[in-house]
Amino acid sequence: MEKQFIVSARKYRPDSFEAVVGQPSITRTLKNAIAGNHLAHAYLFTGPRGVGKTTCARIFAKTINCTNLTADHEACNECEACLTFRDSRSFNIHELDAASNNHVEDIRNLIDQVRVPPQAGKYSVYIIDEVHMLSQAAFNAFLKTLEEPPAHAIFILATTEKHKILPTILSRCQVFDFHRIQIRDIITELQLIVDKEGIVAENSALNIIAQKADGAMRDALSIFDQVVSFCGNEITYQKVIDHLNVLDYDYYFKLTELFLNGEFKEALLVFNRILEEGFDGHNFIAGLATHFRDLLVSKDPQTVELLEVGEEIGRKYQQMATSCSIDFLYEGLRILNSCDLSFKQAKDPRLMVELALMSLSRIMGNASANSELIARPAAQNLKPNPVTAPVTAPSTTPITTPVIAPASARPAASPMPASNPMLNMTRLSDLHVKKTPQSIPAAAVPDHQEQATSGKETEELTNSLLKTYWMEFAEQLKDDQPRIYSTLTVQIPELSPDKKIKLSLNNPLQEKAIRSIQNELLQFLRSRSGHSDLEMETTVPEDQTEKRIYTQEEKYQYLQQKNPDLDLFRQSLNLDLE
């Protein structure tokens, strides 16, 4: 007779605390409770699927009934209690699925069963899986028995949704929170199974299986069985990504090179090829964001251990990370995160992704332009002031303090639409540098420029310049504080003769918003203009300081004054005000 196939999730299910994967603190606590005979009457095991909740409950139930515990307080697997448990014929362990037994009558039957002492062994253990599925009435019927069960009864409740459990139930249980299993622990367990089965598997292939499992050991074993059926006894990285429809790391590395070189056309073609191969755009963006995160943690030896990839791919990440600046990775993560959040709301998701790819391709180009602008000598950026007297030749000492170029000397704006947050790659705040006058001999300075030698700004502040600086500050708030950005772009200030900034607002809410950033705004304007004595005054119309709530009749009377025929229209349709 042909031997029946048993799935790996059942075949290699742990039968001792030592064999449980990825939950060392929980297994140690349970073993210590058994060793010290400090057993509670009710436990709640909670956590994601496939992390060992029911497995630990069964091992715990078997161990406390074992008559011949080992030195490290594990079940012996040889006594009668252990053998009956292994053969699934134990009368001391009772499992109940709360998803299908969630009524009051089911709990009443359980309560009647609890009263009966065990025929063999010391404890009757009741494992209730998916306990959050119990109805409200069933929970209430279970409360008294759960709080004061017979001495021989122990309850172990298991759930994936702890927030659905009544607080009165939680207060009667010892709660154990199971966490997702680490990728390295899953890989180690898979490697042990591969060795036992006589299968040859690449470490990078097992890494892909572990990542696909998302922290669940049971899912990892199910995927492993599926991959073995496809690959046979030789599991390779390429076969695994083909079968599991996982995007190859090579795509991400190729795209990163294109971003660094500013080749957005080639990046769009690569994305098109990815879509043609059947991959989802949203998953692609999420994967690319993870790729940028892995590059970021690869830049520092202290964080490289956070990289959860195979050894060979890990070396690729560390190599490429040397070519990527921190600013490039930060800005890339910001763009990708914004695209990820907006993907589902986008009417054209493909265009959303393509805009993100183009923005990523512009990061290095913008950074180069900014560096070139800041590095220009001051003599090229400042317009020479006309003088009638001969001017002494300027000092040949190089000027190291960066100076901002006037508006006429600044590079032309990008043709990309600035209203799209995905394209706002280089904020104007990145170009802000404090103006510092050049060192000019005193004899060569005209009277109207005498203040320049003392470090003060000589350029006269006008309404036009004030508006320019005002809009530059607003651009910095465009992504993080859109409401304040809207207020700043709509309410344009005026400069009074005494150099005080006067801002007229529509309502107190706008005034409150402006006051929240007033100090930063003034500091920015003072630094940008060189006038350290700038002050700002806000005004709100008096008729906006108090609001009143209008009744339906008052609203109707107002509309009727605007349109006298409105009452005839209402009467013709026999309408009444609600």
Q: Does residue 425 surpass a pLDDT of 80?
A: no
Give 313-355 pLDDT, tens digit per residue.
Answer: 888 898 999 989 999 999 999 999 999 998 988 889 999 999 9
Helix, strand or coil, per DSSP, at residue 174: strand
Work out the pLDDT band at 468, boundaries 50, 70, 90. Answer: confident
Nearest to 256 by CA among 230, 219, 292, 294: 292
Q: Are 370 and 429 in contact (CB under 8 A)?
A: no
More confident residue, 428 or 575: 575
More confident residue, 17 or 566: 17
Claim to verify: residue 155 and residue 217 sit in the same structural domain: no
Give residue 547's pLDDT.
53
Claim to verify: residue 23 and residue 171 sit in the same structural domain: yes
CATH number at residue 450: 3.30.300
Which residues partner with 546 through β-bridges?
A: none
Work out the pLDDT band at 415, boundaries 50, 70, 90. Answer: very low
Work out the pLDDT band at 442, boundaries 50, 70, 90. Answer: very low
Q: Are 499 and 533 in contact (CB under 8 A)?
A: yes
Claim to verify: residue 335 and residue 208 sit in the same structural domain: no
In a domain, 386, yes or no: no
Lowest-confidence segment of 120-134, 212-226, 473-487 by average pLDDT: 473-487
Q: Are 356 and 339 in contact (CB under 8 A)?
A: yes
CATH number at residue 22: 3.40.50.300
In a domain, 124, yes or no: yes
Claim to verify: residue 22 and residue 163 sit in the same structural domain: yes
In a domain, 213, yes or no: yes
In a domain, 2, yes or no: no
| CA Rg value for the chain | 36
In a domain, 274, yes or no: yes
HEC secondary structure over 118-167: CCCCCCEEEEEECHHHCCHHHHHHHHHHHHCCCCCEEEEEEECCHHHCCH
Residue range of the domain that includes 65: 8-177
Please tell me the distance from the alpha carbon of residue 164 to that of residue 178, in angstroms, as a whole number. 17
Mean pLDDT of the region 368-374: 54
Claim to verify: residue 120 and residue 144 sit in the same structural domain: yes
Lowest-confidence segment of 58-67, 204-213, 439-448, 463-472 by average pLDDT: 439-448
Percent of the chain scoring above 90 in pLDDT:
25
Q: Is this model's pTM higher than 0.85 or not?
A: no
Q: Does residue 515 surpass a pLDDT of 60?
A: yes
Helix, strand or coil, per DSSP, at residue 234: strand
Q: How many CA atoms lie within 13 A of 466 on its CB side?
A: 21
Rounded to an integer, what is the distance from CA 205 to the centroid of its chain?
A: 26
Helix, strand or coil, per DSSP, at residue 500: strand
In a domain, 145, yes or no: yes
In a domain, 138, yes or no: yes
Residues contacting residue 481 through CB under 8 Å, at least 6 positions apart: 517
Please tell me the distance from the alpha carbon of residue 70 to that of residue 80, in angstroms, as a whole number. 15
Claim to verify: residue 45 and residue 85 sit in the same structural domain: yes
Phi, psi of 29 (to 5 degrees): -65, -45
- The runs of H, that is alpha helices, within 167-248 are 167-170, 183-197, 203-213, 217-231, 237-244
Helix, strand or coil, per DSSP, at residue 360: helix
Claim to verify: residue 211 and residue 263 sit in the same structural domain: no
Work out the pLDDT band at 530, boundaries 50, 70, 90. Answer: confident
Q: Does residue 74 surpass a pLDDT of 60?
A: yes
Give residue 489's pLDDT.
84
Please identify which residue in the block is written with the tokens 């006051």. Answer: 515
Claim to verify: residue 438 and residue 459 sit in the same structural domain: yes
Q: Does residue 163 surpass a pLDDT of 50?
A: yes
Give 204-233 pLDDT, tens digit per residue.
Answer: 889 889 988 888 999 999 999 999 998 888
Strand ordering across the sheet containing 124-129:
93-97, 124-129, 153-159, 42-46, 174-177
Q: Please tell me which of 88-92, 110-114, 504-508 the model is most confident about, judged by mean pLDDT.
A: 110-114
Q: Does residue 133 surpass a pLDDT of 60?
A: yes
Give 249-268 pLDDT, tens digit per residue.
Answer: 889 999 999 999 989 899 99
Nearest to 352 by CA among 421, 291, 261, 278: 421
Claim to verify: residue 235 and residue 325 sit in the same structural domain: no
More confident residue, 45 or 363: 45
Mean pLDDT of the region 25-46: 92
Q: Are 178 and 23 in contact (CB under 8 A)?
A: yes
Number of structural domains (the chain) is: 4
Question: Which of 325, 354, 372 is a domain's end point?
Answer: 372
Work out the pLDDT band at 542, boundaries 50, 70, 90. Answer: low
Please identify which residue in the block is written with the tokens 């009956």. Answer: 84
Work out the pLDDT band at 381, boundaries 50, 70, 90. Answer: very low
Claim to verify: residue 474 and residue 508 sit in the same structural domain: yes
In a domain, 341, yes or no: yes
Work out the pLDDT band at 548, boundaries 50, 70, 90. Answer: low
Q: Does residue 447 surpass a pLDDT of 60?
A: no
More confident residue, 554 or 185: 185
Using the 8-state DSSP alphabet, how is residue 538 labeled?
Answer: E
Nearest to 256 by CA among 301, 303, 294: 294
Give residue 549's pLDDT.
59
Helix, strand or coil, per DSSP, at residue 320: helix
Give 93-116 pLDDT, tens digit per residue.
Answer: 888 888 888 888 988 999 888 888
Strand ordering across the sheet containing 494-495:
494-495, 500-504, 535-539
In the structure encoding, which two tokens stand for residue 171, read together?
A: 């207060």
Residues contacting residue 570 through CB under 8 Å, at least 6 positions apart: none
Q: Are 168 and 138 in contact (CB under 8 A)?
A: no
Give residue 47's pLDDT.
92
| Mean pLDDT, all residues of the chain | 80
Helix, strand or coil, per DSSP, at residue 170: helix
